[in-house]
Amino acid sequence: MVTGAASGIGKAVVERLARDGVEVIAVDIAEDGLRKLDAPHSRTMVANVAEPDDRARIAAAADGADYLVNAAGIIRFKPIFEFTLQDWRDIFAVNAESTFFLCQAIGPKLRPGGAIVNLSSSSAKLASTIEVAIYAASKTTILSITRSFAYALASRPIRVNAICPGIVDTPMQDRVLDEVAHLRGTTREALNETRNRSVPLGRPSSAEECAGAIRFLLSEESSYMTGQAVNFTGGLVMW
């Protein structure tokens, strides 16, 4: 079961799992994007992870699954003093609430030996993200949610890990460049260069590279890892 499956990292995860012969249920609010997936043997489900009724449908479909990947996410950009209560509620509903309640509903129904990966972010570990302060708070919450469910599901055994990507080349990252450049009064190109220089490996990741790391966290290769916040940042974050 993969949420946020119509674009970016979620899409790359679905296509990678499908290539590995896994039958995937690809969930997203964006029907168009789901139609374009290149994932044989996968099923698609249009659902809003922020809606409790939709989450119940997702959970029902996930009965007996091996893996859950919570990749659905939204971001909003404003000077920190201009964020509203509605911004908080919207962002937390998609990023944090859905992660908590999908882990709660689906975790116990996964097959023993199964695994969950939650998409956090390097913004959960950095202070330089004030244009996305609520997003960063929601991604930090995901680390706590991950640890709680890792503990709660360990005896089954189901492993639960979070991945903290830095800069992954996706439609969301495209918006980050445009909107943060606008807020900082600089150009997209200049911001892109500064950001790439801050990454020791000197470049963004592709969505496919990130999907490879998520695949590792789902697989037996990471059988002794649970409750972790795994950096995937080209060295931007090292703790």
Ligand X SMILES: NC(=O)c1ccc[n+]([C@@H]2O[C@H](COP(=O)([O-])OP(=O)(O)OC[C@H]3O[C@@H](n4cnc5c(N)ncnc54)[C@H](O)[C@@H]3O)[C@@H](O)[C@H]2O)c1
Q: Is 119 in the site for ligand X (CB under 6 A)?
A: yes
What's the rounded Cα separation, in Å, for the pair 50 and 83?
20
Please report how close the Cβ of residue 172 comes to ligand X at its closest, in angstroms.
Answer: 3
Would the CA dihedral through 227, 202, 206, 88 be positive or negative?
positive
Rounded distance, CA 9 to CA 16, Å? 10
Alpha-carbon distance 71 to 99, whole Å? 9
Among 2, 13, 18, 72, binds ligand X (CB under 6 A): 72
Q: Is 6 in the site for ligand X (CB under 6 A)?
A: yes
Site membership for ligand X, residue 30 (CB under 6 A): yes
| Amino acid residing at 38 | D
Q: What is the DSSP letter of 42?
A: -
Does 102 sit near ligand X (CB under 6 A)? Answer: no
Q: Which is nearer to ligand X, 107 or 165 (CB)?
A: 165
By C-beta, is 115 or 119 nearer to ligand X? 119
Report phi then psi at 169, rounded to 5.
-75, 95
Q: Site for ligand X (CB under 6 A): which residue of 1, 2, 9, 143?
A: 9
Query: Interaction with ligand X in 74-93: which residues (CB under 6 A)?
Result: 74
Helix/strand/coil for 198? helix
Distances (CA, A) of 106 to 70, 114, 210: 11, 11, 23
Q: Where are the beta strands (DSSP E) in 62-191?
A: 67-70, 115-119, 159-165, 168-169
Nearer to ligand X by Cβ, of 29 and 160: the residue is 29
174's tokens = 């495209």
d(CA 14, CA 39): 7
Per CB under 6 A, does 146 bind ligand X? no
How far apart, in whole angstroms, are the C-alpha atoms of residue 239 and residue 229? Answer: 9
Q: Does 198 bind ligand X (CB under 6 A)?
A: no
214 binds ligand X (CB under 6 A): no
Distance CA 161, CA 8 (A): 20
Task: Output 156 or 206, the one with its CB closest to ligand X.
Answer: 206
Residue 234 in contact with ligand X, rule: CB under 6 A: no
Among 44, 129, 161, 173, binds ligand X (CB under 6 A): 173
Q: Is 224 a catalytic residue?
A: no
Q: Does 25 bind ligand X (CB under 6 A)?
A: no
Q: Where does this chain touch ligand X (CB under 6 A) — which range of 6-14, 61-69, 80-88, 217-225?
A: 6-14
List the catalytic residues.
Answer: 135
Give the footprint of ligand X on this chain (CB under 6 A). 3-4, 6-10, 28-30, 33, 48-50, 71-74, 94, 119, 121, 165, 167-168, 170-173
